[in-house]
Structure 1
Amino acid sequence: MKSVAEICSDLIRFDTTNPGSGERPAAEYVATLLADAGMEPVVFESAPKRTTVVTRIDGDSPDALLIHGHLDVVPADPSEWAMHPFSGEIVDDCVYGRGAVDMKGSCAMTLATVLGMAERGERPKRDLVLAFLADEEATGDYGSRHAVGEHRELFDGVSEAISESGGFSVTSGEHRVYPIAVGERGTAWMKLTAHGVAGHGSRPPADNPVATLAHALSRVASYEWPVRLTPPVAALIKDLGEITGQPVDLDRLDAEAARLGALGHLFKGQIRNSANPTMLDAGYKVNVVPSTAEAHVDGRYLPGLQEEFLDVIDDLLGPKVTREFVNLEDAPGAPYPSAFFDELAGALMAEDPKARPVPYVMAGGTDAKSFARIGIKGYGFAPLMLRPDLDYFGMFHGKDERVPVEGLEFGTRVLTRLLTAA
């Protein structure tokens, strides 16, 4: 059987850049590994080469657990990397390449876990559904949304799910903290349009939509969103105070996040809504005032705060700018505290006696949003023990993305314990 590092390297070598040529080669590789181990993978496409693989493994309980991951990755410019981003090279005991962290490394851990169980003849304690999905790095229309909409029966009996962006170690001094995600901020990707009066660029402007939109974007970008503490984030902050022995001052959370360093990153982007202008498009000639100007804004809002978020956005945009959604997704949450959270925490602590699991809310989003639509409670749990010098958050969509081999091996042991321990 291939090692988890070898599987990770193999997956990275498939260029599944989104947008790009699709996920099919990587999906076929995954399906072959599963089929060779005696499983019966279901392979389907939402569009040519936009390929997803799903399989079910019978366990001792029909109450099923879903483990999902995505096979697509964001673009990578080889000129900015120390080695080619799709080489999958193993250097200094790390697997390098686009997707090592986000999230082919996690997919490799899942595969190594179930392939190892099959080789040893071990049966999971509950039914398992594995999903290797297309299109997470966009809207999920070709991946998770298609899967839950057109292949709902593959997820029958699933009550909970685990996936990316949780279960990784954050080391600060003597403390090794493992955040387990119990929620995500919602997504509001918006296209903004300002209409005006076209005319010659030399004349006094009658109603210049470029200026109108620029002023609106400036208001959005400079707005200071108020702190809104949701219960899981409040619990995280309390836990961090207890772990470090110094309570966190709730009236100075930005300063406290800076003081806590790596630990502060666990709540810095999760205590308020955000809206970042990301794209601009206006005009076609320097001496012509266009009749329209457009922009895109990446909006994120905390659970339960969608209405408040959109009200503020509308006030900031003003009456001359309209908005429409490119993508609108709710902010999903999973029960906390809960028996399943305790199971996840227990698997970590069994493999790392110094582990301090804490609840966590993701600043961004995952395919958990799609599965929440069909009632599946998603937790961020892709366990990794990381070296203290590795900037885990910085490697998401960054250059020289890499994951330690020993971290992948640790994660495989944690997942095996989670899936098989009585």
Structure 2
Amino acid sequence: MAGLVADLLTEIEATCRTYEPEPGRTTLVADWAPEGTDMSRPVLMLHGHSDVVPADASDWTVPPFSGEIRDDCLWGRGAIDMKGFLAMVLSAMRARHRRGEVPSRPVRFILFADEEASGTLGSSWLGPHHPEVFDGVTEAISEIGGFSVTTPQGRRGYVVQAAEKGLWWFRMTATGLAGHGSMRNPDNAVARICAAVDRIVAHRWPDLHHPVQEAFLDSYSRLWGVDVDHDDLEGSLAGLGPLSRMVGAASSQMVTPTVLSAGYKVNVIPTAASAELDARFVPGHDEEMIAQIKDLAGPGITFETIAYRPSVEAPFDGPVVDAIRSAIDAEDPGAMVLPFLNSAGTDAKGFARLPDGRTIRCYGCTPLKLPEDFDFISLYHGVDERVPLDSLAFGARVVDHILEEA
């Protein structure tokens, strides 16, 4: 995929280079500044990732890697996450080249590897090992955000990511006394790890009232005419449809058990048992979350970090934000732009704060004007992932405006 995209960019005289920490994990970096570009201005970075999560073809209506067009949608794994945005950017850049038009400032397009594995061999590797790749960059645009939601009055709002939670993927291990399953064993590693997981999952994490989250909830309350109940946040946000789950998860810390490992035979009590958990923390609250998890787990539990990625947040102002607002208004007059706190994560974690102290303002705007009844959020990593063709065309036009105005 990196080779295909490099060919498309070379055709418009972009300068391409690749980085490969391991065979098959290729990140493409391309600089596009055709003659006439204002080289005195900072570089605008547009980025995305080439990898996708797996798909079981037996679950799908169409072959998941076919790119089939059906019912006015493009179907396939990655249509939303996130080949759609890559196509918008490439389409807009190539169209400007054909028209003989230049961007408002230099553009750096980065196609990262490995985002679906937390960016270990992609953005989280490139930032520390090749910080020079980000020289001159002050602002960046990628996923997640830019898609529309419709108010009860029929007015559209486009949610744009201004902050995202950090993540700590970790493994807990309990050890105990091995023995026969037919006898009592008060030192059972399986029982100990299950009890630790249960205490963590049962913990009620407080609402941390992050400013971006509160601003979004205030806008929602006003536009949807709903009093937000922080004790039943997802219920209050029902007007957002499936997006309520993502927004609801952004108000507090979140810890989810995902993997359990223990034993090798049903009548043998094993020496050790482990659990892997996915913890997401609100910006600025990582240390207190980790300390709380360890306290809840109790004595005799050891911890191993699988991956740690920082949170990201940026002021919602400046040239890029102004360009996003203007671009969306040009293609959907009267629509609103609503900054939000993303409960998941993006490649921005790898470079928003570089080892040398530089910071880059990172925003999530994959612009999609969606039908009101289109269950967009459920299709992330879901079966029958697809995106309306009209939405892709809308997004390409919005990206073209951003290249013109940012």
**Which range, TM-score by smaller chain?**
over 0.9
Deviation at 1:254, TM superposition (A): 3.8
Amino acid in structure 1 at the alignment position of 2:310: D
TM-score scaled by length of structure 2: 0.94
Matching of residue 317 in structure 1 with residue 297 in structure 2: yes
What residue in structure 1 maps to residue 254 of structure 2? 274
Amino acid in structure 2 at the alignment position of 1:340: V
What residue in structure 2 maps to residue 54 of structure 1? 29
TM-score scaled by length of structure 1: 0.90
Distance in 2 between the 1:71 and 1:260 partners? Answer: 29
Distance in 1 between the 2:237 and 2:224 partners? Answer: 13
Amino acid in structure 2 at the alignment position of 1:219: R
Assess, with a 3 A threshold, how the Cα gap between structure 1 residues 260 and 91 changes in structure 2: closer, same or farther.
Answer: closer
Q: SS of the residue aligned with 1:137?
A: helix
Matching of residue 401 in structure 1 with residue 385 in structure 2: yes
Matching of residue 418 in structure 1 with residue 402 in structure 2: yes
CA contact (8 A) 1:99 1:105 kept: yes
Give 1:383's match in structure 2, choosing from 367, 373, 378.
Answer: 367
Distance in 2 between the 1:200 and 1:169 partners? Answer: 58
Matching of residue 145 in structure 1 with residue 145 in structure 2: no
Assess, with a 3 A threshold, how the Cα gap between structure 1 residues 175 and 264 changes in structure 2: closer, same or farther.
Answer: farther
Distance in 2 between the 1:80 and 1:166 partners? Answer: 27
Amino acid in structure 2 at the alignment position of 1:288: V
Q: SS of the residue aligned with 1:74?
A: coil
CA contact (8 A) 1:189 1:297 kept: yes
Q: Identify unmatched segments of 5+ residues in structure 2.
A: none
Distance in 1 between the 2:30 and 2:111 partners? Answer: 9
Identify which range, 27-36 or 243-252, moves more after superposition.
243-252
Matching of residue 335 in structure 1 with residue 315 in structure 2: yes
What residue in structure 2 maps to residue 113 of structure 1? 92
Deviation at 1:252, TM superposition (A): 4.7
- How many positions carry a matched residue from both structures? 397
Matching of residue 42 in structure 1 with residue 6 in structure 2: no
CA contact (8 A) 1:266 1:360 kept: no
Matching of residue 351 in structure 1 with residue 331 in structure 2: yes
Q: SS of the residue aligned with 1:180?
A: strand
Distance in 2 between the 1:258 and 1:270 partners? Answer: 15
Deviation at 1:141, TM superposition (A): 1.9
Deviations 1:84-119 (A, max 9, x none): 000000111111000000000111111101111111
Give 1:307's match in structure 2, choosing from 284, 287, 297.
Answer: 287
Distance in 2 between the 1:391 and 1:261 partners? Answer: 8
What residue in structure 2 maps to residue 30 of structure 1? 5
Deviations 1:327-384 (A, max 9, x none): 1111111113445323212211111014211111111111000011322121001111
What residue in structure 1 maps to residue 217 of structure 2? 237
Give 2:207's match in structure 1, choosing from 203, 220, 227.
Answer: 227
Matching of residue 104 in structure 1 with residue 83 in structure 2: yes
Distance in 1 between the 2:250 and 2:67 partners? Answer: 33
CA contact (8 A) 1:169 1:179 kept: yes
What residue in structure 2 maps to residue 3 of structure 1? none
What residue in structure 2 maps to residue 23 of structure 1? none
Amino acid in structure 2 at the alignment position of 1:328: Y
Identify which range, 79-88 or 250-259, moves more after superposition.
250-259
Identify which range, 33-42 or 271-280, moves more after superposition.
33-42
Q: Identify unmatched segments of 5+ residues in structure 1.
A: 1-25
